[in-house]
Amino acid sequence: MRAKPLFLTIAHRLAILAYIAFALFPLYWLLKVAVTPNDLLYSEGIRLWPSHASLEHFDFVLRHSAFPVFFRNSLIVSGSTAVIVTILASLSGYALSRFNFRGKYWLVALMLLTQMFPLVMLVAPIFKILSPLGLTNSLTGLVIVYTAFNVPFATFLMQSFFDGIPKDLEEAAMIDGATQFVAFRQIILPLTLPGIAATLGFVFTAAWSELLFSLMLISGNDQATFPVGLLSFVSKFSVDFGQMMAAGVLALIPACLFFLLIQRYLVQGLTAGAVKG
Amino acid sequence: MASIDIANIQKSYGIHPVLHDVDLKIGDGEFVVLVGPSGCGKSTLLRMIAGLESVTSGEIRIAGRRVNELAPKDRDIAMVFQSYALYPHMSVAKNMSYSLRLRKTAKEKIASIVSSAAAKLGLDPLLERRPRALSGGQRQRVAMGRAIVREPKAFLFDEPLSNLDARLREQMRAEIKKLHKDLGATSIYVTHDQIEAMTLADRIVAMNGGFVQQVGSPLDLYDRPANLFVAGFIGSPGMNFFEGTYLNGTAPRFETEGGVVIPAQPHPALTDGARATLGIRPEHVEIGAEAPDALKATVDLVEPTGFGIILHLSFGRSGFKAFTNDRRFLNASGSLPVRLPVERLHFFNAAGNRV
Ligand SMILES: Nc1ncnc2c1ncn2[C@@H]1O[C@H](COP(=O)(O)OP(=O)(O)O)[C@@H](O)[C@H]1O
Ligand SMILES: [Mg+2]
């Protein structure tokens, strides 16, 4: 390969740097405000780092606000949604990828259709459905709604991962003595780990940051998830930016941890070596 | 080990028929090769025997037992795929033992079976590797190993060598043959390569367009091809064909469309003046023979192969090939006397069938 001219390399790096700075700046600002003591927030003008940083907002948020409850609720809702959706999507994605059955075309069309409506249109009917079932103001209700909304897209996502795995593999397993389900579990699923990780991550973050339904279906602090909780830092007369940002920083932690855990599956092509020479 | 009976098998995908009335009896321990061009339905037939495709109509029996409705895992057959289909997340040893583990075979027994199969295939040093760390030839061996650990009723091979380079293909071909000699297992082998078919088979099943064209020993197919398709498919370089008319009488002969008259033996199945095709293999064309019945052919091209020489010749506008080991012809040019021995001629009627 010919070496690229130096200035092209530099231009390339600069472009990437500019993009990263642009994308990460809001996060940086979040952190900056979170560590700025209240008395400096409005007095110092605009500067990149406060003259004196403190963790007082974090301390307050963790010890004196309802934030830990929001956080726990969010973890429960997002975690359960991610797990349930991924299990359902693995099964349905596998079916779409491998089986031909009557009505398959219509099923796919229907699933696409569900993705076409703005969610706002559905809030009222869903509230109407859930309320007699006692599922409003409950985490279970939220999990059900999120699951319903995420399954179609997650199914397509999983289907594309299954499509990438040669059919020969499970046929070989079936000839080796496995049933279709055992072949799915022992051969196909382990190879789909990257796909499963991607789906888990996608659904988890979607549920983690969902505001609309959480706001509409939940009233009161006990069952609120953290996006709704963030709003509680907005009072009638002022916004407590420092605390709000500190809560925001804390809320980033699980998402980051989650991606750290799964990133090794996201970048790895596990199927290498299955076929051909 | 077992016999396999295929009775009046048909297969359609929707309204598209891909196999028509295939009827085949494969004996215990026999090595049968299904050969034919790509898309003729060989894999489909093999996969129906394996249970990976449903049977549209007809019956398949393995060891006398109807298996049409049986799942692949209950048919007790092993299969080697063209893509090898190794499990990428398992080591070579785990790949080979997967079927045994599914059958809950005892650990010690698995270990001894795997190590003896690995020894047979020269895989000992590779047992702990993952498939992606193997070369194509090694992957092919693992695929074979996975099949032989089980001592199944029959082995099915779907173009197992077509992803290997030519040298390795030759070597593995011989190894498969040796393995079959050792194990004596009933084997069905699919290939589009007529050399593989000729060298490996006890019996060849030549297929085209979803129809079985001829079943017989390799030399049967070479010496007495049942129709134009088989005649053209088996042998390399391929058989020469001339279209023309068969003329009976005191001196039976064949007149090509270009007006060349070739002496022939009497053929009771052909009437005087019947349209026919004459075939002769390049290696049976005699060149340079100054005989009274010699014909004059023009030399168009000389292709040395090392082992011999392929001469591209022509009678007027109809080209044909001759194969010879005689190096005198390396510099052949102009025209050559050519003889087509009567006992080497194949005749096919207007429908393309041997007469
Ligand atoms: N799943 C399928 N659906 C429709 N047609 C198929 C399918 N599988 C194979 N065919 C058709 O059946 C014919 C035979 O295929 P195959 O048995 O794979 O041929 P080959 O002799 O090359 O192994 C081909 O024309 C192919 O297009
Ligand atoms: Mg094929």
Ligand 1 pocket, mutate which of B9, B16, B44, B82 (most atoms under 8 A from CB) = B44
B191 lines ligand 1 (CB under 6 A): no
Chain A CB contacts of B85 below 8 Å: 166, 168-169, 171-172, 274-275
Atom of ligand 1 nearest to the CA of B159: 23
**pLDDT classification of A268: cutoffs 50, 70, 90:** low
Per-residue pLDDT of chain B (355 residues; tens, 9 = 90+): 699 999 999 999 989 999 999 999 999 999 999 999 999 999 999 999 999 999 999 999 999 999 999 999 999 999 999 999 999 999 999 999 999 999 999 999 999 999 999 999 999 999 999 999 999 999 999 999 999 998 899 999 999 999 999 999 999 999 999 999 999 999 999 999 999 999 999 999 999 999 999 999 999 999 999 999 999 999 999 999 999 999 988 889 999 998 999 999 998 899 999 999 999 999 999 998 888 878 999 999 999 999 999 999 999 889 999 999 999 999 999 999 999 999 999 999 999 999 9
Mean pLDDT of A196-212: 88
CB contact, 8 Å: A178 with chain B? yes
Residue with tokens 């004996």: B27
Our answer on whether the CB atom of B87 is closer than 6 Å to any ligand 1 atom is: no
Q: Which ligand is nearest to the CA of B81?
A: 2
CATH (residue range A64-270) = 1.10.3720.10
pLDDT at A236: 67
> What is d(CA A25, CA A27) in angstroms, rounded to the nearest whole number?
5
Question: What residue in A sits closest to B154 (Cα-Cα)?
Answer: A175
The pLDDT of residue A110: 92
First to last CA, chain B: 38
Q: Is the pLDDT confidence value at A275 over 60? A: no
The answer to whether the CB of B14 is under 6 A from ligand 1 is no
Q: Inter-chain contact A277–B136, Cβ cutoff 8 Å? A: yes
Q: Which of A82, A65, A38 lies closest to A204 in space, CA to CA? A: A82
Do A179 and B73 make contact, defined as CB atoms within 8 angstroms?
A: yes
Give contacts of A271 with chain B, Cβ < 8 Å: 88
Inter-chain touch A276–B89, beta carbons under 8 Å: no
Closest ligand by atom to B42 CA: 1
* CB of residue B42 inside a 6 A radius of ligand 1: yes
pLDDT in tens, A97-106: 999 899 999 9
DSSP at A134:
T
CB of B153 within 8 Å of a chain A CB? The answer is no
pTM: 0.83
Q: Residue B98: which of A171, A176, A274 has the nearest Cβ? A: A176
* More reliable by pLDDT, A118 or B299: B299
Query: In this predicted model, what pLDDT tens digit does every residue of A41-84 receive, in sequence order?
Result: 777 777 778 888 888 888 888 888 888 888 899 999 999 999 99
Q: How far is A168 from chain B (nearest CA, A)?
A: 6
Q: What is the pLDDT of residue B319?
A: 94
Q: Are strands B346-348 and B274-280 parallel, antiparallel or unpaired?
A: antiparallel
What is the model's pLDDT at position A44? 74
What atom in ligand 1 is closest to the CA of residue B46? 17
Taking CA atoms only, the protein residue closest to ligand 1 atom 24 is B39
Which tokens in the block code for residue A100? Answer: 């031909």
Q: In what order do the strands lie in the sheet with B240-247?
A: B261-263, B253-256, B240-247, B274-280, B346-348
The ipTM assigned to this model is 0.89
Of B73, B137, B163, the CB nearest to A177: B73
Note whether A171 contacts B164, CB cutoff 8 Å. Answer: no
A49 secondary structure, DSSP code: S
Option in A171, A177, A190 nearest B89 (CB): A190
Query: Does residue B101 sit at the A interface (CB-CB below 8 Å)?
Result: no
CB contact (8 A) between residue A175 and residue B102: no
Nearest to B233 by CA among B270, B275, B196: B196
Please give the pLDDT value at position A216: 86
Distance A151 CA to ligand 2 centre (A): 37
pLDDT at A163 over 80: yes
In order of their start, the domains of chain B are: 4-233 (3.40.50.300), 240-349 (2.40.50.140)
Residue B239's closest CA among B326, B335, B323, B325? B323
Cβ-Cβ contacts under 8 Å, B84 against chain A: 274-277
Domain boundaries, chain A: 1-54, 64-270
Q: How far does residue B118's CA lie from ligand 2's centre (Å)?
A: 28
- The model's confidence at residue A1, banded by pLDDT at 50, 70 and 90, is low
Task: Evaluate if residue A277 carries a pLDDT over 60.
Answer: no
Ligand 1 neighbour B44 (Cβ under 6 A): yes
User: Of the candidates A173, A175, A179, which has its C-beta nearest B50's C-beta?
Assistant: A175
Q: Do B87 and A271 touch (CB under 8 A)?
A: no
pLDDT band at A269 (very low <50, low <70, confident <90, very high): very low
B37 ligand 1 Cβ < 6 A:
no
In this predicted structure, the answer to whether residue A273 has a pLDDT above a threshold of 50 is no
